[in-house]
Chains A and B, each alone.
Chain A
C-alpha cells in the first residue's frame, strides 16, 4: 500500500474555533492528527511593562485588564503579593468578600466555558442555554461590584465595596436558582449521548503526564491530581471552609483524564462554588473591609516596603501567580505574571496527537485556554521594523542578566 502523505492543516491565528489568536499547526493523515504544534503570543499588550511605571494601587486596576473573564483573579494575586511585601493585614470581612467574588467568578467562568465547549461541539442550543444561565451570575457580580466585566473590587489591603445585608437576600436567590438549574445542566452536559460519544476517550491526559507537564486547575484535577490551592495553601476565607478538590470521581466515574472528565470537573465545581458562597454569606464576620481607607496612606506604606513576594490564587483555570519585587520606590522593580493558562497550554501537542480532526476544537477548548492571560510581552525592533522571537536559551540569558541588574 502506498504511504499516505501527511497534510498540514493550520488552525489560527484567526479561526472561528478560537476566540483569541493562537496558531496551531496540525499534521494530519486522513482525519487523524499525527502531530501538533502551537505558537502562542499572537497578541501583545505590554501590560507588565506598563505596570513598572505605576504605583501598586494603579497596578491593581491594570491587573483587572489582563484577562476579560478573570476579573478578580489577577488583582487578587497581585494584591496578595503586595500585602505580603508591605506587611499589610487584610480584615477578615474583606477576606470573605474576596472569597465570595472569586467564587462567583468561578461560576461565570465555568458557565462561559461550558457554552464555548458546547459551541465547539456544534451544539448551539446548549451554548445559548449556558450563556443565558451565566447571566444570573453576572448580575450578582454586578450587584456586588458595580461592574460586569472588570470588577475593580480588590484594593491593596481589602476590598472597595462591602456586601450589605440587603444584598445577601438577592445573592441567595440567585444561588437557589442555580441549585435548581444545576441538575438540569448536569443532565444536559453529562448525559447527552452525542456529547458523551464525542468527549469520552478524546484528548487523553494521563495522571503522570499531567504531573510532568505541571498542569493546574480543572485540567490537572480531571487527570486525578488533587492539587487545589484553596485546599493546599488556604488563603482569604478558604481556611475556614470545608473544601475538597473536585475530581472526576464526583460523577461516580473513574479518572480517565479525557475531555469528558474535564467537563465533569468544571460542572461539579460550579456546585462547589455555590456551597462556598453560601457558607461565606452565613459566616461573614462584622468589621471593616479595608485595612486603610485613605489611598495616600496605602501608597505611603507601599513606598516604604522592600522585598519580594509571590501572590497566588486558584483561578477558575488553575493556579495564577504574581511575582512582585519592590525597593522603596513608587513602582515595583519587577512584576511577573504567570497565568494558569501558561501551565495548561503546552499540553496541547500531547493531547491533540492521535485525535480526530473533528475533535480538535473541543480538545483545544477543554483546557479552557485564556490566551490574553498569556500574552504580555512583545519585543519589536522599531528601527528594523521586525519582531524578534527569542529562543529558550536567549530568554534564560536575558533573565540572568536582569536578575544581576536587580541585585546591583
Chain B
C-alpha cells in the first residue's frame, strides 16, 4: 500500500517538476542556439507559451486516420516519458520505484515514447508521417545498439569489481564506475561518454538525427498531422524525455554528488545535490543537443544507420573489450 501511495504521489510531483523543468530546458536550448547563430531568440519561457497555445487549439483528426490510435499515442508518449523518471535517481534522492526496476527496464521505457510516435505516425495515414515513422523505426533500431553497449559495459565492469546488483539504478547512483576502473577502464569510460553524447540527440530526434521529423523533407514527418492538444502532449513528452535522457546519461557516467565534498548531510545535502544534478542535466543537454544541433547538418537515414551501427557500435565493442582488459589487468577476473 505504501509503495502505491508513494508511486501515485511521486508521479504527480515528478510529472509537474519534469514538465516545468523540461520546458525550461527547451527554452534554454532555443536561447543558446539563437545566440550561437547570432540571433536573439525567443524568451526563455517561450515553450510554456507554445504549449499553452497548443492546448487552446482545436484538435484535428485527419479523415483517413485511425482516431482512437491517433489520439491515444500522445498520452502514451507522455505517460511513458514520466514513467522513466520513476526509475531514475535525482541527486541523492533515490528513485521512487527503484526497487521494482533496473537499467534494462529504463532502456525499454526509453523506447516507448518513440514507439508511440511511430504508431501515431502510421495511424495518421499521411504519406509524410508514414515515411517519418519508417525512419523513426530505423533510427530506433540504430541507436539502441550503442546505448545497450554502453549500459552493458558499465554494468559488467561493476559486476567484475564485485558490486552487488550492478544493473540496479540505486547501485549505479551510489557506485561511480570511474571509481572502480583502472587506466584502460578510464579510456573505455571516456569512449562511452562520447557515445552517449551522440546517442542523446538520436534518442531525442534532434539535428543531425532529426530525419523522422525533417521539416524540409517531410514537413514535420511523424508529427505532420498532429495539432492542438495532441501536439501539445507530444511537445511535453519530448521535454520530459530530454530530462530523462540527460539524467540517464548522468547516472551512468557522471554520478557524482556535491554533498560529500562539502560535508553536508540531511536536507541540505539533498537540496545541494538536486541543484547540482539540475545543473548537470542542463550541461549535458547543452553539450550533446544544443551544440551538436547548431554545428551540424541533418544526416540521411542511411548515414544515421552507418554512424550508430558501424562507428558507435564499433566504439561500444572497443569499450567493452577495454573494460574486460582493464578488469583482467587489475586482476579482478
* Residues of A near any B CB (own CB < 8 A): 7-10, 15-17, 28, 30-31, 118-126, 128-129, 132, 192, 194-195, 197-198, 356-361
Q: State in angstroms the CA–CA spacing of A31 and B135 once bound together.
A: 9
Q: State in angstroms the CA–CA spacing of A239 and B82 once bound together.
A: 70
Q: State in angstroms the CA–CA spacing of A15 and B217 once bound together.
A: 9
Q: Pick the residue among B128, B135, B207, B211 that contacts A9 (CB under 8 A).
A: B128
Are A195 and B300 in contact, with the CB atoms below 8 A? no
Q: Pick the residue among B36, B134, B135 that contacts A125 (CB under 8 A).
A: B36
Supply 23 A–B pairs (Cβ within 8 Å), ascending by A: A7-B130, A7-B131, A9-B128, A16-B219, A17-B217, A30-B134, A31-B131, A118-B297, A119-B216, A121-B298, A122-B207, A122-B210, A128-B39, A192-B297, A194-B296, A198-B299, A356-B300, A356-B302, A357-B131, A357-B217, A358-B211, A358-B298, A358-B301
Most chain A CB inside 10 Å of its own CB: which residue of B134, B208, B298:
B298
Closest Cβ neighbor of A202 among chain B residues: B300
Complex interface: chain B residues within 8 A of A125 (CB): 36-37, 294-295
Query: 1/0 per residue B183-211: CB within 8 Å of A?
Result: 00000000000000000000000011011
Q: Is B215 an interface residue (CB 8 A)?
A: yes
Q: Is B303 an interface residue (CB 8 A)?
A: yes
Complex interface: chain B residues within 8 A of A122 (CB): 207-208, 210, 214-216, 297-298
Closest Cβ neighbor of B297 among chain A residues: A123
Are B297 and A10 in contact, with the CB atoms below 8 A? no
Closest Cβ neighbor of A127 among chain B residues: B37
Closest Cβ neighbor of A194 among chain B residues: B297
- Of residues 105 to 160 in B, which have CB atoms within 8 Å of A's CB atoms? 127-128, 130-131, 134-135
Complex interface: chain A residues within 8 A of B295 (CB): 125
Complex interface: chain B residues within 8 A of A118 (CB): 297
Are A129 and B297 in contact, with the CB atoms below 8 A? no
Q: Is B38 an interface residue (CB 8 A)?
A: yes
Complex interface: chain B residues within 8 A of A129 (CB): 37-38
Q: State in angstroms the CA–CA spacing of A359 and B300 once bound together.
A: 8
Closest Cβ neighbor of A28 among chain B residues: B131
Distance in Å: Cβ of B159 to nearest Cβ of chain A: 38
- Known contacts A123-B298, A356-B302; can you find 11 more A-B pairs with CB under 8 A? A7-B131, A31-B131, A31-B301, A118-B297, A122-B207, A122-B297, A128-B37, A192-B297, A194-B208, A357-B217, A358-B300
Q: State in angstroms the CA–CA spacing of A361 and B210 once bound together.
A: 15
Q: State in angstroms the CA–CA spacing of A36 and B199 once bound together.
A: 34
Are B299 and A194 in contact, with the CB atoms below 8 A? yes
Closest Cβ neighbor of A365 among chain B residues: B216
Q: State in angstroms the CA–CA spacing of A160 and B75 once bound together.
A: 64
Complex interface: chain A residues within 8 A of B36 (CB): 125
Q: State in angstroms the CA–CA spacing of A334 and B193 once bound together.
A: 69
Q: State in angstroms the CA–CA spacing of A123 and B297 once bound together.
A: 4
Most chain B CB inside 10 Å of its own CB: which residue of A8, A9, A30, A195:
A9
A-B pairs with the 5 shortest C-beta distances? A122-B298, A123-B297, A121-B297, A17-B216, A194-B297
Are B37 and A124 in contact, with the CB atoms below 8 A? yes
Q: State in angstroms the CA–CA spacing of A132 and B37 once bound together.
A: 10
- Of residues 254 to 307 in B, which have CB atoms within 8 Å of A's CB atoms? 294-303
